[in-house]
Amino acid sequence: MNPSSTPTPSEAQPSWDLSIGGMTCASCSGRVERALQALPGVRSASVNLATEKAHVEGEAGLATSTVLAAVVRAGYQAWLPDPEPNEGEESGGGPAARAAASARARAGWHVVFGLVLTVPLLLPMLLPALVLSPWVQWLLATPVQFFLGARFYAGAWHALRARSSNMDVLVAIGTSAAYGLSLVLWAQHAGHSMHPHLYFEASASVITLVLLGKWLEDRAKRETTQAIRALQALRPRSAVVRQDGVDVTVPIAQVALGDVVVVPAGERVPVDGRVVEGSSHVDESMITGESLPVARGPGDPLRGGSLNAEGQLLVSTTAVGEQTTLARIVHMVESAQVGKAPIQRLVDRISAVFVPVVLVLAALTGLGWWLGGAGLETALINAVSVLVIACPCALGLATPTAIMAGTGVAARHGILIQDAQALERAHQLTTVVFDKTGTLTEGRPRLVQFLGAPAAQGRANGPEEGLLLSWAAGLQQGSEHPLAQAVLAQAQAQGVTAAPAKNRVAVAGRGVQAEMGGHHLALGSSRWLQELNINPSDAGWGEAAQAAEAARNQGHSVSWLVDLDQRQALAMLAFGDTLRPSAAPTVARLRSMGLRTVLLSGDNPGAARAVADALGLDDWQAEVLPEDKVARVRALRDAGEVVAMVGDGINDAPALAAADVGMAMSGGTEVAMQAAGITLMHSDPARVADAIEISRRTVRTLRRGLFWAFAYNVVGIPLAAAGLLTPMAAGAAMALSSVSVVLNALSLRRWRPIVAAKATPSAPSAPT
């Protein structure tokens, strides 16, 4: 189900992506998640603190209102995502966007108001001669404590009522203790000429610093979602549709499949489609990561959101709305960012017990100082410092912000990571398994040899080569397979018309068969020829075996046209493909990264060996059926390898799903992309190494963020317990920890893919 739609109870398996408001730390996201998971009919729920979103999978009959109510009962707000704006509306103007914008504006004013009231309380620390009366301190601190700090009291109340604890509990208890202690000391010294030291500045500064930290954190977090916003901005809101020769501007939602859309120069393509008229260069960099504009003319595909650089194009619509490539990219990146990496689940378990442990530590700190004779005032202030510095905000942000930044920068360069698990798993890879056609090779084979058999009965009456090619083209008519396209292209080039075929049947991994011209014909692999027990030499055509062997030795793929009724071969077809220019540099780069490279090909051994030798692959296996690829991938995993499978075809989908990480080339089939954890929008094998590199960078950044999050607490809590940190210093350190973790994640935005060498390796033609 698409994330922007509202599910209905009649849907078999409804799902929701909700915006959540009011979360302050990992304990909050954990409580919302538990509240959703406890709902009858919820199959799974995942809540992301950094994105402030929840993804919920439900059973039939579960209502939207029930899901939203569960979040509200837990003490938070929840909204459905905004619908697509209509023509004339500004993007992002829906209820959820307005609520978020209002919350950001309110947070900014609260920070300003807090600073205005708190700075005078801190001036005596800088100017000892300046003494503020208790009345002035109280007047300045009280609005901060109970107006600006109301959110902490509300959050703490909801948490305690749910028998839980979070950052709000720590801040509310800590600042209330400092504020209350100030009132007690003030009352005890009432009427004295010397005013005691009060701690109003401590309570006010902690609240103001926490609010300032949250405001800075929110601004930084918005930077991590910049990639999503940039992709969403590519969606045109209207399109010019040609109807009966008249160009009419309509909202994008009214464009239907088959409509002809006019795309002027300098405008973005509003839909997915194929060019029916005109030629131009199109900038697809935001979608595929390809930096150079690509030429597009009649028959070429176009992706919605790409920019038409020069000439006007007429485009026949093939996909609209949520079915367009751009919409699926946005949904894929959003899904990856709202999901949880495996390491985050460990962090969540730690966060669940962290706050209760801190409360105990703070109580022990206060009790220890009091029993040690330091006095109630000192004991209480040190306990407050422990409470304030130990807020688990940074701990909850370290993983999701790194995931958001990593998936965002990857998407900007044409690497779409469908889930956080794939991103984290990719850094552990030890072996990369490649399919060949369309992955390491261009995937556009040519028919380099067509050898017709002499007639078995009466050579003079045997079929001519033109008729044989016509039969071969007829068998392949309508197929999208690269070999089929090569046969059809050759027939067209020679002016041969494809013969009409009846009862065409594709045989998986082998070929195709049909009836035509009174014959039962088949076109397929050498493997199939052997399974049919047909030997060209038996019909007096010994030349065929020699030609086929020579073609295989040159790295060509060999197919056979066969008469199934007569049990004889009619023609030998040899296909050649070329290696992608970046294939060899990519393999070399992967090996330099410590990865083993393997080729699994459905082609003959000679062809597979030629490609493997040309690229320097560590291992290869030929004549591999789809089920054999799965078995081989599983065997590698059973041997302890962490395996990535790279492919683009339907026959690669099972192996992509069986691998630890599946990587699909976007030029391949929809089935392959659905089965993969990572989709490479540019059909360049160099993106495989880039995907692994960004995974490694992201995991390093994630671990660095977790290290600093833990380090602040490991160092700060003992210092606070030892009386070496004031509550104000503890509040500053706590705010700094959250901001530094987010800034650490933002360092990923500087990552750029390595441009592979463009020199074409000297290698034989490679088979499909």
Six-digit token string for 524: 């397929």
- At residue 715, the 3 state secondary structure works out as helix
**Alpha carbon distances (Å) from 531 to 253, 534, 559, 567, 631:** 52, 8, 14, 12, 21
What ranges make up the beta strands (E) of 564-660?
568-576, 596-600, 619-621, 643-647
Pair 96, 80: CB distance under 8 Å: yes
Which residue type is seen at 132? L
Answer left, alpha or beta for residue 384, where phi above 0 means left and psi between -120 and 50 means alpha: alpha
Neighbours of 195 (CB within 10 A): 14
Tell me the C-alpha distance between 287 and 294, whole Å.
Answer: 13
- Say which DSSP state 416 is in: E
**Is 684 one of the catalytic residues?**
no
Tell me the C-alpha distance between 709 and 399, whole Å.
Answer: 10
Tell me the C-alpha distance between 182 and 337, whole Å.
Answer: 45
3-state secondary structure 38-100: CCCCEEEEEEECCCCEEEEEECCCCCHHHHHHHHHHCCCEEECCCCCCCCCCCCCCCHHHHHH
Tell me the C-alpha distance between 25 and 52, whole Å.
Answer: 11
How many CA within 13 A on the CB side of residue 92?
10
Neighbours of 344 (CB within 10 A): 26
Taking alpha carbons only, the member of 104, 135, 118, 237 closest to residue 728 is 118
Tell me the C-alpha distance between 95 and 684, whole Å.
Answer: 41
Max distance between CA atoms of the chain, in angstroms, equals 129
**Alpha carbon distances (Å) from 481 to 477, 486, 506, 509, 648:** 10, 9, 11, 12, 12
**Sheet of strand 77-79, all strands in order from the earlier edge strand to the far edge:** 42-48, 53-58, 15-21, 77-79
Pair 710, 398: CB distance under 8 Å: no
Pair 324, 271: CB distance under 8 Å: yes
Q: What angle do CA 642, 643, 645 make, to 5 degrees?
A: 165
Pair 21, 79: CB distance under 8 Å: yes
**Alpha carbon distances (Å) from 80 to 4, 7, 51, 105:** 8, 10, 14, 21
**Alpha carbon distances (Å) from 299 to 12, 196, 274, 275, 278:** 38, 84, 6, 5, 10
Residues 6+ apart with CB under 8 A from 63: 9
Residue 242 phi/psi, 5-degree rounding, is -90, 115
In the block, residue with structure tokens 């602040």: 712
Tell me the C-alpha distance between 697 and 677, whole Å.
Answer: 18
Selected catalytic residue, list 168, 272, 348, 435: 435
Tell me the C-alpha distance between 140 and 157, whole Å.
Answer: 25
Six-digit token string for 753: 């893919």
**Alpha carbon distances (Å) from 762 to 92, 549, 611, 765, 766:** 52, 22, 11, 10, 11
Active site positions, annotated: 435
